[in-house]
A and B are shown apart, each in its own frame.
Chain A
Amino acid sequence: MTHMTSQMPVTSQHLGPSGNNRLFAAGSNATLADHERAYGPLPEHCIDATFIGVLEQSGLTGRGGAAFASWRKVSATGQGRDGALLRSRPVVIANGAEGEPLSFKDKTLLLHAPHLVLDGLLVAARSVSASSLYVYTTAVAMPAVEAAIAERRDARRIQVIEAPETFISGQASAVVNAIGGGNALPLDNRRRLSDSGLKGRPTLVLNVETLSHVALIARYGAQWFRSAGSDRDPGTRLVSVSGRGADQVLEVAGDEGLGFVLAHAGIDLSGVQAVLVGGYHGRWVKPLDYRLTPSGPAGQTVRPGAGVLHVLSTGQCGLEATAWIVEYLAGQSARQCGPCVFGLPAMAKVLAAIAGGDRNPKLVGELERLGTLVARRGACHHPDGTLQLIQSALEIFSEDVGAHLTGNCTRMGGRAA
């Protein structure tokens, strides 16, 4: 557990950073010299397709939200290159567009450890013999990335593309669409990007944090990676903590306890009512004895998604907070798919009515009915992510829902419950 901003130990013996301070081991605003001092040189020339096997052993999963096994993604992109004669060379994209307003770990990473991301991008590109490399990120992080690229020879072929500040701009096919010269909107998901992505070429889109882990696995190996975290969730992950106290980015071990992470962020747990884990497409949880891991039994673990932990303090209304988020999400629908374009605003309205004290008993049923209409009916995960958030709110704040519908919510000016 390390605060990004605290004094960071520098590893000089190149056995790999020990403990959980891995990604920021080169310090703040790391230059190429800082970076090489901390991690040693990148064995880039030794990397080929066999690295995919190393990735598999490491057990690394994507840190952008979906937690898909990274080696599978890489291997799907690299596959069949020898088989089909005319198959074009792959594209690899480092995705640093975190449209999620509560997530800032990718920005922080690109600002402070851009070389680690570039290393990871180069390694991934070599393992699939890619010919085009991109970093896709928002305006704030672009100067740091461009400066880092200018510092090194091996990164000259990497192109930096600006991502718009929209919620959906980081969705993988939206990334491909944007780099291809279109809008940053998702594409129909009939074809897989690993078969036909940017300009019809096999395309690998990996989150920038995922790539940073790749860079370290290439240096220190799978066993080193697995020395942190647990068997089902090896390695470390970055989390963005917000809602109480200052926003902060922490690096924590995989499978860490939620309460433990919050306590280390300096948050007084007695003031925590619930935590939104995974961001606007995530879910509310309480109490705090959940473990943060993408795999495990539902009652004991919660998927960290892109690592967002947002605290709802006691005294705040979870329904109001959720209604506000859903309204925002409805506004962020990319206006493409009917059920998402019309269904999300309809759900936002019903939720706002419940949160605002409308006592119509049919509201919850209507919300559920609308939910079945948007589920799995869009080109991207946006409707389903929104649905998951709403469902978790109805579950976690079920007492509040009851209080609102019976007019007993104290905050709403009703009778004391």
Chain B
Amino acid sequence: MDSALWALGRVSGIVSLAMLTVTVLLGIVNRSGRPLPAVPRFSVALIHRNISLLATLFLLMHIGSLMLDSYAKLNLVDVFVPFLGSFKPFWQGLGTVAFDLLVAVVLTGLLRHRLGQRTFRAVHWFAYAMWPIALAHSIGNGTNGTERWFLALAAGSVVAVGGALAWRLSSNFLENAKIRQRSLS
């Protein structure tokens, strides 16, 4: 029983992280105002939202299974308050921080129309902090975290998100950046 829970905890964690990576990438594409090949903008927005919700679901599975696991012995306090855990408290604490940030980002995302654009945007920025923290947690805390295939996957994700971020900060990021610039000059 325990080993099944342990396996579930590991797999759901990895899946959740992979989905968060995709979410971040889609979020950046969405922000550029560009569609993807054969995927219109509103679908990009919807996929971005749905994958992030799925990632949250897998994350809950990850946390739930490790709460039941007799070795990890995660308790309710550890889920929300970082750095108090019994097993690798620092690396586990990073996971808690990432979870807290994700909860804030998802809740404000779902309540965007109620909260208004300003609050939503301010909190949504935390996604950029959440992702690397979650990645660090998976490497430092995960059973497979330092295995070669996982590190290769992690490196690939870092390159992808880093590249997207560089694009995000470039002057041609917005779909209409060039023509807008031309009108103003």
Query: Is there a direct interface between A and B, measured as CB atoms under 8 Å apart in the complex?
Result: yes
In the complex, which residues 163-185 of chain B have their Cβ closer than 8 Å to any Cβ of chain A? 180, 183-184
Contacts of A346 in B (CB 8 A): 183
Cα–Cα, bound, A341→B183 (Å):
9
Contacts of B184 in A (CB 8 A): 341-342, 345
Cα–Cα, bound, A346→B182 (Å):
8
In the complex, which residues 310-354 of chain A have their Cβ closer than 8 Å to any Cβ of chain B? 341-343, 345-346, 349
Cα–Cα, bound, A345→B180 (Å):
10
Contacts of B183 in A (CB 8 A): 342-343, 345-346, 349
Cα–Cα, bound, A50→B180 (Å):
53
Q: Nearest Cβ in chain B — how far from A331, in angstroms?
A: 10
| CB-nearest residue of chain B to A343 | B183
Taken residue by residue from 204 to 241, chain A's Cβ proximity to chain B (1 for < 8 Å, 0 otherwise) reads as: 00000000000000000000000000000000000000
Cα–Cα, bound, A341→B181 (Å):
11
Contacts of B180 in A (CB 8 A): 342
| CB-nearest residue of chain A to B180 | A342
Q: Nearest Cβ in chain B — how far from A190, in angstroms?
A: 15
Q: Nearest Cβ in chain A — how far from B33, in angstroms?
A: 12
| CB-nearest residue of chain A to B182 | A346
Cα–Cα, bound, A343→B183 (Å):
7
Contacts of A349 in B (CB 8 A): 183
Q: Nearest Cβ in chain A — how far from B177, in angstroms?
A: 11
Contacts of A342 in B (CB 8 A): 180, 183-184
Q: Nearest Cβ in chain B — how far from A6, in angstroms?
A: 48
Contacts of A345 in B (CB 8 A): 183-184
Cα–Cα, bound, A46→B180 (Å):
57
Cα–Cα, bound, A66→B109 (Å):
42
| CB-nearest residue of chain B to A338 | B180
Cα–Cα, bound, A346→B183 (Å):
5
Contacts of A343 in B (CB 8 A): 183
In the complex, which residues 5-21 of chain B have their Cβ closer than 8 Å to any Cβ of chain A? none
Cα–Cα, bound, A341→B180 (Å):
9
Q: Nearest Cβ in chain A — how far from B20, in angstroms?
A: 32
Cα–Cα, bound, A279→B184 (Å):
24
Q: Nearest Cβ in chain A — how far from B182, in angstroms?
A: 8
Q: Nearest Cβ in chain B — how far from A155, in angstroms?
A: 37
Q: Nearest Cβ in chain A — how far from B21, in angstroms?
A: 32
| Residue in A341, A342, A349 with the greatest tally of chain B CB atoms within 10 Å | A342
Taken residue by residue from 68 to 93, chain A's Cβ proximity to chain B (1 for < 8 Å, 0 otherwise) reads as: 00000000000000000000000000
Cα–Cα, bound, A345→B185 (Å):
8
Q: Nearest Cβ in chain A — how far from B174, in angstroms?
A: 11
Q: Nearest Cβ in chain B — how far from A191, in angstroms?
A: 16
| CB-nearest residue of chain B to A344 | B183
In the complex, which residues 256-275 of chain A have their Cβ closer than 8 Å to any Cβ of chain B? none
- Across the A-B interface, give the 4 residue pairs with the lowest CB-CB distance, nearest first: A342-B183, A346-B183, A345-B184, A342-B180
Question: Can you add 7 more A-B contacts, CB < 8 Å, to A342-B180, A343-B183?
Answer: A341-B184, A342-B183, A342-B184, A345-B183, A345-B184, A346-B183, A349-B183
9 contacts between A and B (CB under 8 A): A341-B184, A342-B180, A342-B183, A342-B184, A343-B183, A345-B183, A345-B184, A346-B183, A349-B183
